[in-house]
Amino acid sequence: MFFGIEFMNAETARERIRARSDLNAFIVLTDEMGEGTVVGVKDVVDVRGTVNTGGSVVLPPLVSDEDAPVVAAMRKCGCIVVGKTNLHEFAFGVTSANPHYGVVLNPRAPDRVAGGSSGGSAAAVAAGLVDWALGTDTGGSIRIPAALCGVVGFKPTIGSVDTTDVIPLSRSLDTLGPLAPDVQTAARAFAQMRGDPAWASGSTPSSDHRLAVVAGWGDDLDAEMLRAWSIATRGLPSIDFPPRADLNAVGFTILLAEAAAFHRRWLETVPEKYGADVLEPLQRGLRMSRADYVDALREQSRLRIQANDAMASQKVDALLVPATRVVAPRLTDRFERSDLTGYTRPFNTTGQPAISLPAPAAEIPIGIQVIGRHGMDLKLLQIAMALEKDWAALVYEGVDDAGSS
């Protein structure tokens, strides 16, 4: 029981998970019992009594003696970890097509990718297997699968959650956040992650806020994305913001350098144990110069200041931004990584809080991000609650008024 809401118990959750083993949403289940909030934890986070695989076969199979600080905080608030969720290997990919633990399937669109890297967490929530699930986000790894699976995915301000005992992808950009069926549950989940159940107590939709879109962002969307985007943002003003190409380039440079530094020992000794799509960019990172990395860090600082100034000077509380350039690709489609990360990675570079909400759309899930100001996580969640309520009332066709709240 949490904030007066009754959740499933652990054994019921495990029965559901076993019944949907076809989804490959989990790598391993625990034997934890009891009443409480049933949570799945992405298998890059230490959970006592389990092996932290990182979704790979590279690391030695050592059982964690203790929980990561974030899991310990969750337990203080009544969470029960029912299992470790599947992911794109080492959290470095956008499909969660894991060569070692199976391809995570999308419960809401079975012929389309679940997204990554927190694909198992998103699938578990979308299929109703857990109350909420813990994910990580370095370039969109919470928001992309949330968008493709039709659930809510919240990336808090970078630095607001302790990432100790989490297998890193990029220590400068990594953060932890919840995937949930709705914004209210995401807010409660984030309070549990903080070990402070009162943090989100009494949260209500915010009616006192100013929204905007970014000038020029959204011009490259595919037809289905554009339709949903146009409905959700109709009537909103646009503001200038740092160029998306610059934000993406700087973020990916930092990620490559830091990921390669962490993996160097295994890249030099057991490269054959990596999936090909993860091995290639990691090896590219090994070839990156220290000067390129330092320049990227310097440029990141400048872009963060510009992003903050852009919203502050134009008195904007939140931005609406597409979650992906395209709708969820089919399992057999060819597409570019940037088709799914091009609109999410910028906000790992700036460090701002961001949440992906299911858009008012037809047939297949589509996500739209709401971007808050740095450190204003609760305000962002309150704005997202208002948008979620407004969008629920919209009809996909024949909408006259949309985008205001």
Q: What is the pLDDT of residues 348-363, one digit of tens each?
A: 999 999 999 999 865 7
What is the rounded distance in angstroms from the CA atom of residue 75 to the CA atom of residue 378? 22
**What DSSP assignment string belongs to 321-379?**
EES-SSSPPBTT----HHHHHTTTTHHHHH---EEEEE-S-SSS--EEEEEE-TT-HHH
Structure tokens belonging to residue 237: 């003003």
Q: 180 with 192: CB under 8 angstroms?
A: no
104-122: per-residue pLDDT in tens? 999 999 999 999 999 999 9
Instruction: Work out the average pLDDT over 82-98.
Output: 98
Residue 376 CA: distances (Å) to CA of 39, 70, 228, 353, 372: 25, 20, 26, 7, 6
Structure tokens belonging to residue 281: 């960019």
Instruction: Work out the average pLDDT over 309-325.
Output: 97
Instruction: Work out the average pLDDT over 6-21.
Output: 90
Structure tokens belonging to residue 37: 């909030």
Mean residue pLDDT across the chain: 94
Q: Look at 7 and 115; give whichever has higher pLDDT.
A: 115
267-284: per-residue pLDDT in tens? 999 999 999 999 999 999
How high is the pLDDT of residue 5? Answer: 42
Range 10-193: architecture per CATH: Alpha-Beta Complex (3.90)
Q: Look at 204 and 272; give whichever has higher pLDDT.
A: 272
377-395: per-residue pLDDT in tens? 999 999 999 999 999 887 5
What is the rounded distance in angstroms from the CA atom of residue 136 to the CA atom of residue 178? 8
Residues with active-site annotation? 42, 117, 141
Binning pLDDT at 50, 70 and 90, where does residue 206 land? confident
Structure tokens belonging to residue 150: 């039709």
How high is the pLDDT of residue 332? Answer: 93
Instruction: Work out the average pLDDT over 287-302.
Output: 98
Instruction: Work out the average pLDDT over 14-43.
Output: 97
Binning pLDDT at 50, 70 and 90, where does residue 192 land? very high
161-189: per-residue pLDDT in tens? 999 999 999 999 999 999 999 999 999 99
Instruction: Work out the average pLDDT over 225-237.
Output: 94
Return the half-sphere exposure (C-beta side, CA atoms, 13 A cut-off) of residue 259: 24
What is the rounded distance in angstroms from the CA atom of residue 129 to the CA atom of residue 38? 9
Find out whether the peptide bond into 207 is cis, omega within 30 degrees of 0: no
Q: Is the dihedral of CA 377, 369, 186, 331 positive or negative?
A: negative
How high is the pLDDT of residue 397? Answer: 47
How high is the pLDDT of residue 363? Answer: 73
pLDDT of 132 > 90? The answer is yes
pLDDT of 21 > 50? The answer is yes
pLDDT of 2 > 90? The answer is no
Nearest of 35, 31, 26, 74 to residue 49 by alpha carbon: 31
How high is the pLDDT of residue 20? Answer: 98
Q: What is the pTM of this model?
A: 0.95
Binning pLDDT at 50, 70 and 90, where does residue 193 land? very high
How high is the pLDDT of residue 204? Answer: 79
